[in-house]
Structure 1
Amino acid sequence: MEKEGELLKFKGFYFQSSVVDYDILEKLEDFEIRDNDIFVISYPKSGTVWILQILCLIHFEGYRNKTDTRPLNLRAPFLEYNVSHVDLEKTPSPRIIGSHLPYYLVPRGLKNKKAKIIYMCRNPKDVMNSFFHFSNMLKVFQPTNTMEEFMKKFLEGKGNFLEF
């Protein structure tokens, strides 16, 4: 792992260091996958949260009938950006887990178990446009003055989570 500003480069992939859990990254390869896990994997701004929300409506009756009022990040946490510190090992099945990991970084068991994987993709131009506006809207992101400046970082692979 090497740090470049607020970005963390781990095995060739950039993460936002202030919200990623280093221990999770180190243990990703051996994360225990259950056969009934459901993973939603995508590049950011590709519709991940929409699909996670739909899956929660399908799978969790308590959420549908409004007796479960937990926020989405507790019902369907992200694997590598588990900002709410959900203990995925103790989470009952079926687990719904989001991720923005590239294929080569996903847990080994995800490649050979029966877990379900929903892979989201979206036109890269739309992703970049959405991410540009999203990152300029939130104060935690370092704003980018122009689309050209943002596109340069995006094409360098640093568009995933820009410096905060």
Structure 2
Amino acid sequence: MTEKFLWFEGIPFPSVDYSPELLREVQESFLIKDEDVLLLTFPKSGVILKEEQREKRREEEKKNDTGRPSFGTNWLIETVCLIYSKGDPKWVQSEPIWDRSPWVETKHGYELLKEKEGPRLISSHLPIQLFPKSFFKSKAKVIYLVRNPRDVFVSGYFFWKSAKFVKRPQSLEQYFEWFIQGNVPFGSWFDHIRGWMSMRDKENFLVLSYEEMKWDTRSTVEKICQFLGKKLEPEELNSVLKNNSFQVMKENNMSNFSLLKGQYLEENGLLLRKGVTGDWKNYFTVAQAEIFDKLFQEKMADLPQELFAWE
């Protein structure tokens, strides 16, 4: 594996399982079907904490733990899979999460999706300008999950510094510079959000926030069901909520990424963790917070601020 970025159309990508040829083919040729459901996020997979970091924050997490995972993308995938199976956990226990809702921009996911028949769940971190063009003429439904970019920054730093397939940041300060410049995997958070938020008034586009999903999981699951036209009986909804909890996902080898440990990520990394919203306050300096706030106001001022109700 090579610890560097692959650049395509000015956007940095991981160097493994991606290629310029594939990304171009996905954009130009991949056919999105009307019955597909797309799960889109800017990458913010759960923080990988080494033992000394976990020890430092154990007491805080005990006080704030809600029993819900902090890895928003994969939590959303798991939840939608459980909605599709009406709360029956057999599917999520028998097939890896990356095969249930493949990442269209990866070699593995692209090949799987080309062969899948019927309605497909499709995951992606792609910015809107690189997304399959066929989507914009389809009726496919999109769920777009957003999260406080300050927490995205912290999660991204710990994740990417332990990954074996990207250019690794050497310090939090270095990653801060990368993040505000958009030189992180999949590009600028601000551009990603601005691009996809142009779709927010479409009836086939649902915006969710990670914070909302964490604070009131039941209501969020009900909102997803309504959007997808899926009706769950009370006991089925309860089963979804039981089986998408952190503890259950942590113990499920099809969802906890233990199958990839040591292959793409450091052996001593923790792939899933319990987290808290607002965790960025433990890492940002006053100067960084001021720089970030100013940049956020400049970049996002013309978007409805209710989209960004983090606290």
Partner residue in 2 for 1:44: 43
Whether 2:23 is the aligned partner of 1:25: answer yes
Alignment counterpart, residue 77 of structure 1, candidates 83, 96, 102: 102
Cα pair distance change 1:20/1:148, threshold 3 Å: same
Whether 2:80 is the aligned partner of 1:58: answer no
Q: Give secondary structure in 1 for the equivalent of 2:146.
A: coil
Where do 5+ consecutive residues of structure 1 fail to align?
A: none
Partner residue in 2 for 1:115: 140
User: Who wins on radius of gyration, i.e. which is larger?
Assistant: 2
Partner residue in 1 for 2:159: 134
Alignment counterpart, residue 116 of structure 2, candidates 71, 80, 91: 91
Partner residue in 1 for 2:197: none
TM-score by structure 2 length? 0.46
Cα pair distance change 1:72/1:146, threshold 3 Å: same
Deviations 1:15-63 (A, max 9, x none): 1122214442121222101111111111101611111111111124696
Q: Which protein has the bigger strand share? A: 1
- Does the CA contact (< 8 Å) of 2:11 and 2:186 recur in 1? no
Q: Which protein has the bigger helix share? A: 2
- Distance apart, 1:94 and its partner CA: 1.6
Partner residue in 1 for 2:149: 124
Partner residue in 1 for 2:9: 11
Partner residue in 1 for 2:171: 146
Q: Give secondary structure in 2 for the equivalent of 1:87.
A: helix
Cα pair distance change 1:66/1:37, threshold 3 Å: closer
- Does the CA contact (< 8 Å) of 1:7 and 1:14 recur in 2? yes
Equivalenced residue count is 159
- Distance apart, 1:93 and its partner CA: 2.2
Identity of aligned residues (%): 33
- Distance apart, 1:146 and its partner CA: 2.2
Partner Cα distance (1:136, 1:17) in 2:
14
Partner residue in 2 for 1:156: 181
TM-score by structure 1 length? 0.82
- Distance apart, 1:137 and its partner CA: 3.7
Q: Give secondary structure in 2 for the equivalent of 1:89.
A: helix
Stretch moving more, 119-128 or 41-50: 41-50
Where do 5+ consecutive residues of structure 2 fail to align?
A: 46-71, 188-264, 266-311
